[in-house]
Every structure is written in structure tokens, then in C-alpha cells.
Amino acid sequence: MNKTITYKLKEKTLLFMSFLLVAVLVISSCSTDETQTVATFTELVWQDEFDTDGSPDPANWGYEIGTGINGWGNNELQYYTDRTENATVQNGILIITAKEEQFGGASYTSARLLTRDKIEQAYGRFEARIKVPAGSGVWPAFWMLGADCDEVGWPQCGEIDIMEYRRQEPTSVSGSIHGPGYSGETNPQGQITKSYDLENDRFDASFHVFGIEWGPDYINYYVDDVLYNQITPADLKITPDDGSGELAEWVFNKPFYIILNLAIGGAFPGPPNAEEVFPQRMLVDYVRVYKQSNN
Amino acid sequence: MKNKTLNYSNIILLLVLFFAFTLSCERDLSEEVEFATFSNSAEIFIDAPIGLGTDFYFPFFGSKATAWTVDESQGYESNASMRFDVPNANDPLGGYAGAIFRVDGAGRDLTGYDALTFWGKASQGVTIGELGFGQDFVDNKYQVNASNVSFGTNWVKYIIPIPDSSKLIEERGMFWYSAGTEQTGGLGYTFWIDDLQFEKLGTVGSPRPEIFNGNDEDSQTFIGATAFPIGHSVTFNLPTGFDQTVFLTPSYFDWTSSNPSVVSIDETGFNTALSPGEATITATLAGVQATGSLTSTVLGNFDSAPTPTQNQADVISIFSDAYINIPVDYYNGYFAPFQTTQGQDDIFINGDNVINYIDLNFVAIGTFLDVGSVNATEMTHIHIDINVQEAIDSGDFINIQLINSVGNNEASGTVPISGTELSAYNWVGFDIPLADFGLASRSELGLIFFISDATISNIFVDNVYYYKE
């Protein structure tokens, strides 16, 4: 199963790649082996394989509830609940279900699970195996927020989006960071982002592994066995340009927590088509966190 | 040692044979069967027709047979393409363009592909009525098309997904099209297609099949009634993120009856009511459950109307299996906005066609639009068999109205049938003298109305004909 790795990287990344030679064998619970040659952090420190049916393990996962402010800042259409109708574990898979129903003033329900105050870590490798839903107007995401968001606020706390997907680009996912000076809320937007395109395949057709490997001065993004981007402090151009020539602040040097959610509507995917069918489901086979094992 | 080695290999060989034999005992195809293999070539037209043979272009009836040519002056990133000159609607050689491209010889194995793709453009912005594949003028078993495909004036790539390529082990229908001038005021235009081929894209996905227009339908029927399913399509999501719906023949679906002893259904979707009871028809397409279903309640044997006895020579038949019928425009005009009546010649039982009007307030059989009106001057009576499918209350009625010379100094005459003349769940035959309608002329009869004003809402109608005594 050794696949040819297609590097789509800048020169400096290729230099960095020269010592990324350790092949890590990732064995999924669905018996498809993926040979990972893009990540070096091998010491597993936390995982949820979703092996126990029922509600997601409360030791690992909490919930955001409701509609947030302005639809979680994105004019999203769903009401998030902690009901098993919206998030449940069955047959080794976490199922996040978006339903079309009147609930709490919203027309849809769904779930946003997060490890805040439970699993928070600075640096490491964060990886999940996910099948995104095949529907319009839904916005599955695997992402992280700085654990100090409640104190310092967003975007100062930092945001690492490991995977975002929308049906407008069924062969593509994007990985991004948001922070002060590159929040994504300005014009031009300013978040640091890159898309990864599948060839001769689409993301809603099957499970894929989405991950980052995050060190003190870099974040590497990968999908399956392809490393497709590296973001470093040198990439943090302030947007809009303030003329100072200085780079924005790198805020990815503190603990972050993990978020899995399935939003409905919002600016990124737009609203569902009128004929869209619900429920829509995001499937998560596992979430794993590693750290660098050089100590 | 040498002998022993040989023995071992013999034993192994025996074991292999044993396992091969054991594994094959499910009585699938014998392992000696070799499937005939057909060409799996993908290309249909890349600057010239490819692998179609010599006799491959078959125009549709009434279309302009010369509409298609190879244009040697332009193409997509090339100097040649297929050119389709859609004629003006009043072109005496054919008022539209349409044809199939059928392989002259054995079909192709398309099981390795998931879409028909091509580049297209037109002389003006226009929608092309139908573009597809799988039509072979033999049984058109795996016909597919996209409808109202929007063409602009610059080259764009189009993708028509294959609903289930595993069915296409030998397909001769490579391409078909039909294009008219409904949206251009009857004026012709030109469109071009190039790089027409089957592809394995991998990026066409999330199929959403539907049957019965995606609805869960109910119907009542009788033993012996046969029908094909209606309203099936499948919508795919393209790599561009846009959805593409294609229409397809029912043979692509795998059909299931919840109770095959009540309603049986074959691989083409043809279904037959066999015994009293209830059965629901559902389907999957390439393993994906289609939305929509039809639940049929089979009531029992159908009580057919008595067979008419007049001689064909004395009859102008509108609707009867006993006579040769004249062409009609419709058995239900669905007049908006006041008509509620649904249904027409929907019932077909053991060779007997029957009209079923439901939600009746009024309805008409038309013979004045595209067909000739009826000259009943020589006729003396109109015959109609009616079977009311509900209890009859006092005051119920069905008025029969004839219209002569529709829309041109028209005249109407009415004969009432009172509820007391009708019988619930029984056929009653009416032979109404045409003189009773009081028409000055009956040389251009164009409409036969059934008017109940909703006093009676569900009737069977059969054997509608004029005759002379």
C-alpha cells in the first residue's frame, strides 16, 4: 500500500520534508490501511475510537448548545443540541446528524462537540478519519480553538481549521488558520488557507484522514497520505495591509481544544437547496492526538 | 525426493481443484463460461466519428435528416466538430433536429465509465431539449438523457452521468439528441459538440434516484391490470458542485414488490396485478434506495363493460377496444383553472382499456386541436358505458354535452343523465339519440363533456362511440 506521495510544497517545506522519513502505519478500525509518511509525531497521547455505542464519551466531549450569537458568527441556521438525535456513537462511528426540524426558533438541529476543559494541548499531531455528508448547504468541520478564547477573545485566541468542506467544491477541502490581523473577517479576508483537491474522487464518497502536525513554529496540513501545506510565522501577512511591513502575531503556542461540528447554512456553504434531503450525517471513525516522541 | 515433490504438487493441484469445485457449487455460471467481451473504447467523436462503423446516424421521425454534419472549420481545441443545424419550425424537410448515433455492429462495454462528456457551444444562447445515450431503436432499454441543457456561445464541458454503468455491458446507443425551436420563436440555430466520449471521472457522485416523482403514491386496481412505473429520474452532483438530473428508463432500477403474489414486477418495471391485496413497489438504483413508491390495492376481478355489438362500418369510435378508434387530442383536457378531474385512459386490464375519471367535476374528450373533428352527420346515436365507483345520492347527475365547431361559432347541446339511471359499481350503457342534443349541425364535433359538478366524483368510462341504426 505504499502510495506515491505527491508533494505540492514550497522549497522550504521540501527541506523540512527531508527529515520526515518515518513511515507511520495507521490502521483504521474499518480495516483499510493507510500508510502515512507525512507525519512524524508518533506518541499517541489521546484517542477516541468511538467504540462504545450511545452518547459520545462525556470524559472527552462537551457540547455547544443553541444558536450562538449571529448563528455562531456565520449566520448559520442550526440549533445545536446535546441530544443523541444529533450526536451518537454507533458501530464504532461517531454520527453527527443534521435534521430539518423546528427547534428553539431554528429550522434545523445539529451538534457541535468539543474537548474544551477536557483535552487541551499545545503542539502535536491532531488527526481524524471522517466521511463528510453529501448534501448542499451543510458545513462539516474538524477544527481547534485556543483554550484561552473565553479570556482573550477571538481572533486573538487563534483558530486552526483542519478540515472544512462544502458541496460547491465536492472534490476539495480546505485547511486554514485565523488569528489577530488574519481573522478572515476583513476584506480581503486574510485568513491563511489552502485547499486540497482529490483527483478522480470526491470527498463525500468515502472516509478520509484529515490531520495537522503542529510544532512551535509551523503547522503542517495533510489529507490521507498527502502533505499539502505548511504554515509558518513568516506567512502571517496582516490583512488588510497596514503598511508597516510587519508580520501578524503567531498565536499558536499554547493549548488548543478540538471541535467537531456539522453546521447548516452560513456564508461558507450558503443555505441548503430547496429540494435538499435531511437528515445529513457527518461520520467520524476516530480522533487521535499524538505528541513528538523525542523526549 | 523428486517423486515426493511431484506427489505434493499433485496433491496441491487436487486441493486447488477441490476448492475450486467446492466454491463453485453455488450454481452460479460455470467457470468454463467466458463472458463475451465487447469493445470498451470510450471515444465517439474526437474531430471525426470514432468506431461507429458506416451506418450509424438515424434521424427521428419528422426531424430534418440532414441536420448533422462534421464541421471542418471549428472544434474544441481543434479544427473539426459535430455541427447540428436546427431547422426553422416551418422547414418542409423537418421542423426539428434529432437522431441517434448507434454503433454499426456490436455494442460497447461501458461498465468502466461513469459519464458521457463533451464540449459544446451554440450560435446563440439556447437550451437543447434532450441530450443523452442508450437509445438504439431496438428496445432502448438503457436510455438516458439530460433535458433543457443550456448552451452558450463559447465552448463548455458537459457531463451526463451514467446512472449505473454495470448494466451497460453491450450498448450500441452512443449518443442521441433532440433540439427544436420552441424557445427561439420557431427560428433555427446551430450548435456544435466535440470530444464526445465516455469517461471515468470519479468526481460524479451522491446519486439521488426517485421513482413516481419522489412521491409515495396510492392506487386502486384490479386483477390483470398492467402498468409501467412513471416519473423516474436520478440527480447527481457534478465535480463543479452543481446538480445534474438525468431521466432514464426503468430498466436501470432494481424493482421490488412487497407482495409479489399481489403485484408482480419484472426487471423492466412492468407490473401486473395478480390477486386481491396490497403491495408496494419500491426500487434501488445501483444500490441506492430511490425516494417514492406506489402502493396498489388490488380490489379483485375487473367487471368489464359489455362488448358492443354494432358493426364497425356503422361506428365512429372514440374509445373502445371493440373498434378501431379515431385519433383524439386527449381523454382529459385538464382545463384550468376550474376543472378538478384527474385520470384518463389509465386502466389496462387483460386487453381492455378503461377510462377512470376521479375528482370529477367536469372533463372532456377532445377531437379538434391536432386531429380532425368528428363528422357525425350520418350517425344517429352516441353510446357511452359508465360505471360509478361510489354510492349514488339523490340529486346526483352526469350531463353529457357535445360541442360542435369548437371555437368557431360553436354550438353545444346537453343531455342529462340522472343518478337514478346510474348504478353504483355496475356498468350502465347509454344509447342517446344525437337528435336529443338539439344541435343544428353535428358535422364538426370536437368535445364530449362529462359534467357532474362534483355530485359524482369517481367513474369508469368505456365504449364511447357514435353509431347509426
A170/B200 CB distance under 8 A: no
CATH code for the domain of A86: 2.60.120.200
Q: Are A73 and A7 part of one and the same domain?
A: no
The count of structural domains within chain A is: 2
Q: Are A50 and A3 part of one and the same domain?
A: no
Determine which of B62-66, B334-338, B400-404 has the lowest per-residue pLDDT on average: B334-338
Distance separating alpha carbons of residues B26 and A81, to the nearest angstrom: 50
> Is some CB atom of chain B closer than 8 A to the CB atom of A62?
no
All three cell numbers of A68: 450562538
Tens digits of per-residue pLDDT, B174-233?
999 999 999 999 999 999 999 999 999 999 999 999 999 999 999 888 999 898 999 999
Q: Are A29 and A121 part of one and the same domain?
A: no
Distance separating alpha carbons of residues B108 and B103, to the nearest angstrom: 8
Residue A41 has pLDDT above 80, yes or no: yes
> Is some CB atom of chain B closer than 8 A to the CB atom of A83?
no
Q: Which of B114, B117, B199, B206 to mutate to test the interface with A (most CBs of A within 10 A)?
A: B206
A189: pLDDT confidence band, cut at 50, 70 and 90?
A: confident
A202/B202 CB distance under 8 A: yes
Pick from A134, A199, A277: CB nearest B205? A134
Nearest residue to B145 (alpha-carbon basis) of B116, B123, B120: B116
B contacts of A135 (beta carbons < 8 Å): 206
Q: Are A8 and A132 part of one and the same domain?
A: no
B contacts of A168 (beta carbons < 8 Å): 241
Shortest distance between the Cα of B239 and any Cα of chain A, in A, equals: 6
A294: pLDDT confidence band, cut at 50, 70 and 90?
A: low
A contacts of B203 (beta carbons < 8 Å): 170-171, 198, 200-202
Strands A33-36 and A24-27: antiparallel
Where do the DSSP E strands lie in chain A? 24-27, 33-36, 43-48, 62-64, 78-80, 87-90, 93-103, 106-110, 112-114, 120-121, 124-131, 138-146, 159-164, 172-178, 192-197, 208-215, 218-223, 226-231, 256-264, 280-291
Beta-bridge partner residues of A280: A98
A167/B202 CB distance under 8 A: no
Quickly count: other Cβ atoms within 10 Å of residue B169's Cβ: 16
Q: Scanning every residue of chain A, which has its alpha carbon at the shortest distance from the alpha carbon of B236?
A: A134
Active-site residue, from A164, A246, A249, A275:
A164
ipTM: 0.78
Nearest residue to B262 (alpha-carbon basis) of B253, B273, B254: B273
Q: Are A134 and A229 part of one and the same domain?
A: yes
Decide if A246 is catalytic: no
B258-289 burial, b at 16+ Cβ within 10 Å, e below that, comes to ebeebbbbeeebebbbbeeeebbbbbebbeee
Shortest distance between the Cα of B146 and any Cα of chain A, in A, equals: 18
Quickly count: other Cβ atoms within 10 Å of residue B170's Cβ: 15
> Is some CB atom of chain A closer than 8 A to the CB atom of B289?
no
B352: pLDDT confidence band, cut at 50, 70 and 90?
A: confident
A contacts of B202 (beta carbons < 8 Å): 199-202
Q: Is the peptide bond before B49 cis (omega within 30 degrees of 0)?
A: no
Pick from B201, B208, B241: CB nearest A169? B241
Tens digits of per-residue pLDDT, B219-244?
888 999 898 999 999 999 999 999 99
Q: Are A21 and A148 part of one and the same domain?
A: no
Decide if A159 is catalytic: yes
Give the A:B interface size as CB pairs under 8 Å.
40
B contacts of A169 (beta carbons < 8 Å): 241
Pick from B200, B239, B291: CB nearest A170? B239
Q: Are A116 and A15 part of one and the same domain?
A: no
Query: For B25, phi and psi rounded to 5 degrees?
Result: -80, 5
What's CA B204's distance to the chain center, in Å?
Answer: 26
Q: How far apart are the first and last CA of chain A?
A: 31
All three cell numbers of A2: 505504499
B421-452 burial, b at 16+ Cβ within 10 Å, e below that, comes to ebeeeebeebeeebeebebeebebbbbbbbbb
Determine which of A86-100, B9-23, B99-113 has the lowest per-residue pLDDT on average: B9-23
Pick from A136, A168, A204: CB nearest B205? A204
Q: Which residues contact A49 (CB under 8 A, 6 or more apart)?
A: A29, A92, A285, A286
> Is some CB atom of chain B closer than 8 A to the CB atom of A206?
no
List, in sequence order, the alpha helices (H) in B58-150: none
Residue B250 has pLDDT above 80, yes or no: yes
Active-site residue, from A76, A127, A159, A213:
A159
Quickly count: other Cβ atoms within 10 Å of residue A117's Cβ: 9
Full domain range(s) for residue A25: 1-35
Q: Are A119 and A190 part of one and the same domain?
A: yes
Distance separating alpha carbons of residues B395 and B413, to the nearest angstrom: 21
Structure confidence at residue B434 (pLDDT): 96
Q: Are A179 and A53 part of one and the same domain?
A: yes
B contacts of A269 (beta carbons < 8 Å): none
Q: Are A97 and A31 part of one and the same domain?
A: no
Distance separating alpha carbons of residues A88 and B30, to the nearest angstrom: 47
Q: Are A73 and A186 part of one and the same domain?
A: yes
A170/B237 CB distance under 8 A: yes
Distance separating alpha carbons of residues B456 and B468, to the nearest angstrom: 30
Torsion-angle region of B388 (φ positive above 0: left; ψ -120 to 50: alpha; else: beta): beta
pLDDT above 70 covers what percent of chain B?
A: 92
Distance separating alpha carbons of residues B148 and A252, to the nearest angstrom: 52
Q: Which residues contact B273 (CB under 8 A, 6 or more apart)?
A: B221, B222, B223, B224, B225, B226, B262, B263, B296, B298
In order of their start, the domains of chain B are 43-199 (2.60.120.430), 205-298 (2.60.40.1080), 312-467 (2.60.120.430)
pLDDT above 90 covers what percent of chain A?
A: 78
Structure confidence at residue B32 (pLDDT): 65
A contacts of B241 (beta carbons < 8 Å): 166-170
pTM > 0.95: yes or no: no
> Is some CB atom of chain A closer than 8 A to the CB atom of B286?
no
Distance separating alpha carbons of residues B101 and B85, to the nearest angstrom: 16
Q: Are A106 and A202 part of one and the same domain?
A: yes
**Cβ(A271)–Cβ(A265) under 8 Å?**
yes
Q: Scanning every residue of chain A, which has its alpha carbon at the shortest distance from the alpha carbon of B291?
A: A277
Q: Give the C-alpha distances (Å, rounded to integers) separating A139 from A111, A128, A210, A257, B331.
A: 12, 16, 15, 19, 50
